[in-house]
Amino acid sequence: MEECTRLSSQNVGVDVSKDTLDVVFSTMDLKRQVKVKASRKFSNKLHGFKDFIKWIDDKSIEGFEPTILLEATGVYYEQFAWFLYERKYAVSVILPTKAKRYFQAIGNKSKNDKIDATGLSRMGLEQRIPLWQPLSKDFYRLRLLTRQLEDFNEQRTVILNQLHALSHSAYSVKEVEKNFKKLLKELDKGIVSINKSIEKLLMEDAKLRPKVEKIITIPGVGVRTIAVLLAETNGFETFENQGQLVSYSGYDIVHNQSGKYSGKTKMSKKGNAHIRRAMHLPAFGVVRCQVTPLAALYKRLTERGKTKMQAYVAVQRKLLILIWALWKKDQAYDPTYHIKNISDNEESKLLFSLVSKGDTKKIALERTRATLDELPYNESPEVLFSLL
């Protein structure tokens, strides 16, 4: 009873590998002192999950529900996280980069599975980490399809490059060329099949289809782009604002300034690479189709001396925010909205309106700095994006 009155919270840190779960159970008292209570290793299999449940229930103090913190190690954590989630345990999952930075901050110089699990248990006690929300089954299936499509397209590019190199080599071998073409043919069949499956999954869902059809009213944006965004974000369900989405996608801005020193400001790229890859071609498409205000943004940045690729990255970020806003509001893109110039130095923040089907009333997107094309970038000429 005395221990219970002194206890503030308890957390279980789990370092996940392909075969094992290294577990450390830690507690924090009212003076915020962290103490390791127990540690153990379990198998990363169903029987190991069941043993873990018995162990944690035995170690936990009644009235203090433990939270469980996992590191997202590839796909090896998913079965365990699902097992805990279905049994109503409070489970959180963080990216390895975030855990690594925390370990560095607390002075961990060595690294092994037990040390990492100890660090995770302490991190779970000291920081407020959101609970894990798994993908729905349809979005999980969609993610598997979109990622396989991405892999097939990458393999196709490799084979085409090898065929091109073979055609310019000093000596050609017909058998090698034949094998490459055979692989290419099989990949093309697979790509066609996956595309059909993706479109079928989206269009046969009564809830998803109307919203997808509204998003693809943006010229240059297709079903595959929307499929990747939905699959990687769980249908945008876990994002309360556009800043969270921008950060998750790796489009957030990193400053490097201290005192009089002002280093280069750049995009972090510490986020979901699948989203950034999916936004690459649509950025070209919306600029080519002169989609307002994205084409205007591209033009202004290139006129300021930015490279074309820097301008396209800025377009990717703005396009992602536009898609997110349209999806959340369940509204279609309105290409007829005209930008109103307020003054020579400031453009209207109302860059485009969001209009529902059958509704003629124009509803402006939230007045937020992230929707600006023209911004007072006084701190650094390298900033490409609006800062949240």
pLDDT of residue 341: 37
Whole-number Å distance between alpha carbons of 254 and 229: 23
Highest mean pLDDT among 166-170, 196-200, 338-342: 196-200
Angle (nearest 5°) at CA 66 between 87 and 24: 105
Write out the two tokens for 214: 């509204």
For the chain, domain boundaries = 2-126, 137-205, 224-371
The pLDDT of residue 321 is: 93
d(CA 235, CA 328): 10
**Position 380 pLDDT exceeds 70:** no
Q: Which residues contact 19 (CB under 8 A, 6 or more apart)?
A: 43, 44
Task: Give tens-digit pLDDT for 228-247.
Answer: 999 999 888 878 888 889 98
Give the distance, in angstroms, between the CA of residue 129 and the centroid of all CA atoms in the same chain: 17
Q: Which residue has the higher pLDDT, 73 or 323?
A: 323
On the question of pLDDT at 370 being above 50, the answer is no
Q: Which stretches of 168-272 are DSSP H helices?
A: 174-203, 208-215, 223-233, 242-249
Residue bearing tokens 């809830």? 207
Nearest to 102 by CA among 72, 122, 74: 122
The predicted model gives 343-371 an average pLDDT of 35
Chain-centre distance for alpha carbon 169:
42
C-alpha 205/C-alpha 191 separation (Å) is 22
Q: Output Rg (C-alpha) for the chain, integer angstroms.
A: 25
Query: Mean pLDDT in the chain?
Result: 81
Q: How far apart are CA 94 and CA 100, in angstroms?
A: 10
Per-residue pLDDT tens for 139-172?
A: 989 999 999 999 999 999 999 999 999 988 888 7
Q: In what order do the strands lie in the sheet with 7-16?
A: 34-43, 20-29, 7-16, 67-71, 90-94
Q: What is the pLDDT of residue 347?
A: 35
Specify the pLDDT at position 360. Answer: 33
The CATH classification number of 2-126 equals: 3.30.420.40
H helix intervals, the chain: 2-6, 46-59, 78-86, 96-105, 113-126, 137-167, 174-203, 208-215, 223-233, 242-249, 273-288, 294-303, 308-329
Give the 3-state secondary structure of residue 90.
strand
Q: Is residue 374 over pLDDT 60?
A: no
Q: How confident is the model at residue 8 (pLDDT cuts 50, 70, 90)?
A: low
Quick: pLDDT tens for 279-317.
999 999 999 999 888 999 999 999 999 899 999 999 999
Q: Is 331 helix (H, G, I), strand (E, B) or coil?
A: coil
What is each CA distance from 34 to 14, 90, 114, 215, in whole angstroms?
Answer: 16, 19, 16, 49
The fraction of the chain above a pLDDT of 90, given in percent, is 45
pLDDT at residue 59 greater than cutoff 50: yes
The reported pLDDT for the residue numbered 375 is: 35
pLDDT band for position 334 (cuts 50, 70, 90): confident
How many helices (H) and strands (E) the chain has is answered by 13, 12
Is the Cα torsion angle 331, 231, 233, 245 positive or negative in sign? negative
**In this structure, which long-range contacts are made by residues 309-313, counting pairs with CB atoms below 8 Å and at least 24 apart in sequence?**
310/384, 311/384, 312/280, 312/283, 312/284, 312/287, 313/251, 313/267, 313/283, 313/384
Give exposure, 311-350, as e/b (b: 16+ Cβ within 10 Å).
bbbbbbbbbbbbbbbbbebebbbbeebebeeeeeeebbbb
Query: Residue type for 211, please?
Result: K
Does this model's pTM top 0.85? no
Mean pLDDT for 246-252 is: 89
Name the one residue in this structure whose structure tokens are 């043993």.
51
Q: What is the pLDDT of residue 96?
A: 82
What's the CA gap between 299 and 311, in Å, rounded? 8
